[in-house]
Structures are given as C-alpha cells and as structure tokens.
Amino acid sequence: FPAKELSLSGIQSTTADFVRCATLAKRAGYDGVEIMGSEGYLINQFLVQKTNKRTDEYGGPDFANRMRFAVDIVRQTRAAVGQDFILIFRLSMLDLVEDGSSW
C-alpha cells in the first residue's frame, strides 16, 4: 500500500487516542505508560526527515515542526493523567536510514 499523509483531523484524533489509552491505563491501576516514538513507528515517522514529507506545521526541514506531533501527544497526555503518573517517551537515537536521527 502506498503511504498516505495523515490529515490534520487524523493527527488530532490519533493524539486523542494516545491520551485516552494513557487515561485508561491509569484508571486500570498502572503506574505509567511508555509512548513509542522510536524504530519506525508512527511518531518516529513524523520525527525523521526521510519519512516525513509534509509541508505543513508537522513537517519540513525544521525539527520543531517534525516533533510537534510527539510534543502534542506528551503534553496532552501529561495534562490528562497528572503529575503522579509515569510517562516514558521512547526515542530512537539512531535510525540507520539516510536523513534519519543520528544524535
């Protein structure tokens, strides 16, 4: 299947899904959650210039734009679950693809 750009409403909906999952985990008694922003998963595809071909506020050469999706997810999740819930964000430090993260 060819890749398809996620719409702005799709980004908002997906962000809400991450937040909802974390709030459900908290309600179920978990101490925290890990948000996967690594190894080619959806969030990582926004972060890496090789896979992010967007030209809006979620893409382009500016890393601040490419990380907006991840930051929105973390900020909204933190606001929903509070400070007493563990949030871990997994980040690839080396993507092993051209134009990938190579911290």
With the CA atoms of 68, 69, 70 and 72 taken in that order, what torsion angle do they form, in degrees rounded to the nearest 10? 80
- What's the DSSP call for residue 60? S
Cα angle 94-97-98, degrees, rounded to a multiple of 5: 115
Residues recognised as catalytic? 41
